[in-house]
Structure 1
């Protein structure tokens, strides 16, 4: 079904039509400096297309929550756990409900993580729920930055991966990305390059004007025109808009953002006692400032737990009297290693541990160490992730002592922390000649229930030259690792995850 919505008017007064069906297949990129009318354009697009297609808005400033009053969009507060957000996103796709994910009030890194979890859950929806969805991401340069910033590398990779999936691979899953950015130079090129429709607004920096002109197929000498565009005016190009660049004036909208651009207001009459009014402190105001200064900033939970782990454990012995040496004997290294290994075993014995974040598992790890009265310096989060990846591989002491395993550990450093456990599990099976792990087992090692994602991981490892996947005459999968000169025994890709089944039965 072909549906054309009215985005505004062209230079000659004719209506500017945007083909929604074509947009779903070809995606849209909107660019313009602050105040150019990007949010107004997105609001017009959402309002006009609301009756025709499901919509999901990633809203970092809470500007689009007012759509709920007029069009019934469900407002999802981003200040939830990752498990809650993933579950909500899955049900959003299943029941075809339009929503606004409001990230207002969250720190930038929290916004990136929340958006990534939400987008990934929509991307991983079951095939029968691949309904068409218009996914609008405002301030896209925040979620797909061209370079690293003040956020952690883990958050940046997580968010950039979700945005790349949306723009590069989302079309087959019914996800049509509409991304808006203030500056093209700050947006990751592999994300921007996947859009086939463009609406370019006012911009002043030479590098952004040059990129906008290139995307529109214009001569760079014509790039100066972007400085002269007024608010709400854009140059459009693409199969859903026009085959050649056309100026478009965006039409009116029915809803308004909660915040608006500042407007000039007349100055109030100056009071006669202005000096006394300004320089004399209000007693209540002074009390509020004193309370605010006295209140310390909350410390991260991870830092508190790490400090607790470094402290000397409590003892049932009576307190030492003053003047005597009260130092507790240090724990033997072998005993400490044994207790740490036991804690790792307890964590991995939980069938749900594979689906919890590394940060949550790290906090659990520190608490368990404290309960076992393990003294000494706490393991860092990066060391914990490495140790956890090795533990998840299932390697035994005999295999861990081999040269082949040392090579496997070196190879695993070529992939990100979240993939090391999966690669080491494959390497362990290849070294020992065991059956190739099933999709379900690979998925659990990665922290997901999706068999499709497990197969994509194998494809990614193969693209990186780390493994070779082939099949025996019966169609069972075999994974070979060239650097180890080893390969797994044939294994059925669709076999059940017996380890997970035994753990659930034990519960």
Structure 2
């Protein structure tokens, strides 16, 4: 079996080969401006060595999925899998020596970077018995190993730089031969570029990129001008797997093609202007509404104080209970609501009130006041202590006894109200109260909203609604909230890189039975519903 890959012809018409075994040990860096032929070069390399070595392609633009039609590559659509599934797939790729294309084009840029980092890290962390030789091709490598942070999240940047550095620096002992392609060397992290021993440099125009390419090829400044004059598909090669001296190569033809748009001139449509205008405006409002309903994010909640930080910074002081002799406000409230008594009649409204009877008599008033506060604009974004002060003031104004309701009790009443639990019938409400009995107060409202949605057989609340109930405007805090609930065993979350998320609540059988009993009591269909719903 030959280990030489025919890449094309030099200026004299001689074939230029790449030694595959040497390439596996020394890695390859490809550079060229957009349109210089980098993807064509990678496709030629992959086609020529297909069947000789395992291939793993990180494909952010979906250019290489057509390899599956002719060479049996498995296309992994990253948007259809969760992060844990991506890591498990990478482990199986190494175990079974499958040639795959990780297609990332359906994901947002930062999702692409995180997915590729997880996949590469799992390849690198495979057990020793699976360290088979494999070419790992990373197109648009400046995305996954950027020289500067840019707008990327710091955690994401550290993750992807670690994965790419491991691939290029330590991958050889694990059988991984990195092949990275970039538009500009200046955009690629130096730790990643420096580990390649083979280079194929295509056309570039910026002085800094030409100088770096010339330095890697061992060319002086005058010879570096050649890089600017290269044609599409022409590259200067150097390295132990290619040539000991810089050599020009015209990349040969390929059998497969990418899914890029046509790059040749095509005749324009000859429709009159009136017909084209009518075509553009046909059912435009309907299309716009469909697009907004499908893709537009929910409006962000009003910015306000962070609930968790406020609770940490403000000390929680116990509210003393009212003593029986000091109840003039209760007596006045009862005097306003009861019929007048005779002067010589015993004044029952001045009797000592036990906590139990106080709770029973004033519960409707307290529920109404909590409901008013929960319905006020931006209530979930206010600190719990401020809400509790508002509650106490309203109770005094309306003459409602509230001494038995402390801050902790109020927070749970408020959470049940904003989540809509109180609007459920008794069986489902009782079951939800039992399931939420041990849940922390600061995460109670979002968790209750999830239970209420499941009990109503309705879609789960989206991130915007969960953020509002959590009192936050940060999507990352919502993700951490879901992680916290999942680590506590309260929910099970499955999220793929396409953004689709499903939530399952353990112990849903009892809640579904309670909801079915509620429906049966109302004369409705009592069929049980699935226990998971998608979160937009």
TM-score (norm. length: structure 1) = 0.62
Aligned residue in 2 for 1:76: 76
Alpha-carbon shift at residue 227 of structure 1 (Å): 1.2
Alignment CA distance shift 1:78-1:383 (3 Å) = closer
Note the 1:325-340 alignment, pairs <5 A: 327=391, 331=407
Alpha-carbon shift at residue 281 of structure 1 (Å): 6.6
Note the 1:152-163 alignment, pairs <5 A: 152-163=153-164
Aligned residue in 2 for 1:164: 165
Cα deviation 1:361-406 (Å, max 9, x = unaligned) = xxx9975575599x99669868999xx99xx9xxxxxxxxxxxxxx
Aligned residue in 2 for 1:399: none
Where do 5+ consecutive residues of structure 2 fail to align? 312-358, 374-389, 393-404, 413-439, 450-468, 488-536
Q: Distance in 2 between matches of 1:376 and 1:322?
A: 17
8 A contact 1:166–1:177 mirrored in 2: yes
Note the 1:134-149 alignment, pairs <5 A: 134-149=135-150
Alpha-carbon shift at residue 263 of structure 1 (Å): 1.2
Alpha-carbon shift at residue 233 of structure 1 (Å): 0.4
SS of alignment partner, residue 215 of structure 2:
helix
Alignment CA distance shift 1:185-1:284 (3 Å) = same
Aligned residue in 1 for 2:368: 320
Alignment CA distance shift 1:368-1:92 (3 Å) = farther
Alignment CA distance shift 1:244-1:281 (3 Å) = closer
Alpha-carbon shift at residue 327 of structure 1 (Å): 2.5
Alpha-carbon shift at residue 128 of structure 1 (Å): 0.8
Question: Are 1:186 and 2:262 matched, yes or no?
Answer: no
Q: Distance in 2 between matches of 1:279 and 1:371?
A: 50
SS of alignment partner, residue 7 of structure 1:
strand
Cα deviation 1:274-319 (Å, max 9, x = unaligned) = 2574379734123323544566723499999x9998999xx99544
Alignment CA distance shift 1:125-1:294 (3 Å) = closer
Alpha-carbon shift at residue 270 of structure 1 (Å): 5.9
Aligned residue in 1 for 2:234: 233
SS of alignment partner, residue 36 of structure 2:
coil
8 A contact 2:86–2:119 mirrored in 1: yes
Matched pairs, number: 354
Aligned residue in 2 for 1:287: 286
Alignment CA distance shift 1:31-1:366 (3 Å) = farther
Q: Distance in 1 between matches of 2:94 and 2:280?
A: 55
Alignment CA distance shift 1:260-1:250 (3 Å) = farther
8 A contact 2:370–2:391 mirrored in 1: no
8 A contact 1:309–1:370 mirrored in 2: no
Larger Rg: 2
Q: Distance in 2 between matches of 1:302 and 1:176?
A: 48
Q: Distance in 2 between matches of 1:376 and 1:39?
A: 46
Q: Distance in 2 between matches of 1:365 and 1:211?
A: 58
Aligned residue in 2 for 1:471: none
Question: Are 1:110 and 2:186 matched, yes or no?
Answer: no
8 A contact 1:108–1:151 mirrored in 2: no
SS of alignment partner, residue 236 of structure 2:
strand
Alpha-carbon shift at residue 331 of structure 1 (Å): 2.7
Alpha-carbon shift at residue 262 of structure 1 (Å): 2.1
8 A contact 1:115–1:159 mirrored in 2: yes
Alpha-carbon shift at residue 241 of structure 1 (Å): 0.1
8 A contact 2:301–2:473 mirrored in 1: no
Q: Distance in 1 between matches of 2:149 and 2:222?
A: 32
Question: Are 1:298 and 2:297 matched, yes or no?
Answer: yes
Aligned residue in 2 for 1:6: 6
Q: Distance in 1 between matches of 2:477 and 2:275?
A: 57
Question: Are 1:44 and 2:44 matched, yes or no?
Answer: yes
Note the 1:81-100 alignment, pairs <5 A: 81-100=82-101
8 A contact 2:446–2:470 mirrored in 1: no
Aligned residue in 2 for 1:222: 223
Cα deviation 1:24-53 (Å, max 9, x = unaligned) = 000000000010000000000000011110
Aligned residue in 1 for 2:243: 242
SS of alignment partner, residue 125 of structure 1:
coil
Alignment CA distance shift 1:148-1:322 (3 Å) = closer
TM-score (norm. length: structure 2) = 0.59
